A and B are shown apart, each in its own frame.
With several copies, the nearest count.
Chain A
């Protein structure tokens, strides 16, 4: 049973890791202008854009899940 819990935890962690990679991929594309990169740090437009991008993505995710919940009933 402990083993089962361990497997559940690990696969949840793996899913979180994978979401973080997807989000970084999506938001980098959206927030960092195309073309050559000049500075390693995120500038004052890019940084809040990345954070907003994560939050809006998760908001949108909730919209989908609520809608699916509603359709199932």
Chain B
């Protein structure tokens, strides 16, 4: 249950950050409705942010494993 809570927390964080970045970029001046251009920008931006998040995760985990094989400083520090 703790793990499920952690996964939820993680998803919530992703959605929050994604909203923050994409709203910033796609809706410079909020009008009386979301224009179709803004909506497209938002969906695209969302896709890009999630791809970026995946890229970062992979790179980060690979690096941790690499450092922990080398032992030493890198082991417990990140």
Direct contact of A and B (CB under 8 A): yes
A37 close to B44 (CB less than 8 A): yes
Most chain B CB inside 10 Å of its own CB: which residue of A26, A38, A64: A64
Q: Is the interface of B mostly helix, strand, loop or mixed?
A: helix
Distance to closest chain A CB from B33 (angstroms): 8
Q: Which residues 33-50 of A have a CB within 8 angstroms of B?
A: 34-42, 46-47, 49-50
Interface bin, chain B? 35 or more
- Count A-B contacts at CB 8 Å: 154
Most chain B CB inside 10 Å of its own CB: which residue of A38, A41, A53: A53
Q: How many angstroms between the C-alpha atoms of A68 and B18 in the bound complex?
A: 12
Contacts of B59 in A (CB 8 A): 50-51, 54-55
A61 close to B78 (CB less than 8 A): yes
Q: How many angstroms between the C-alpha atoms of A35 and B49 in the bound complex?
A: 14
A27 close to B52 (CB less than 8 A): yes
Given contacts A56-B31, A60-B22, A64-B15, contact A41 B51 (CB under 8 A): yes
14 inter-chain pairs at a CB distance below 8 angstroms, sorted by A residue, are A10-B2, A16-B61, A18-B13, A19-B60, A21-B13, A24-B17, A26-B24, A37-B25, A53-B30, A57-B19, A60-B23, A63-B39, A65-B15, A65-B77
Binding site for B on A (CB under 8 A): 10, 13-14, 16-32, 34-42, 46-47, 49-69
Closest 4 CB pairs of A and B: A40-B47, A37-B45, A52-B30, A53-B30
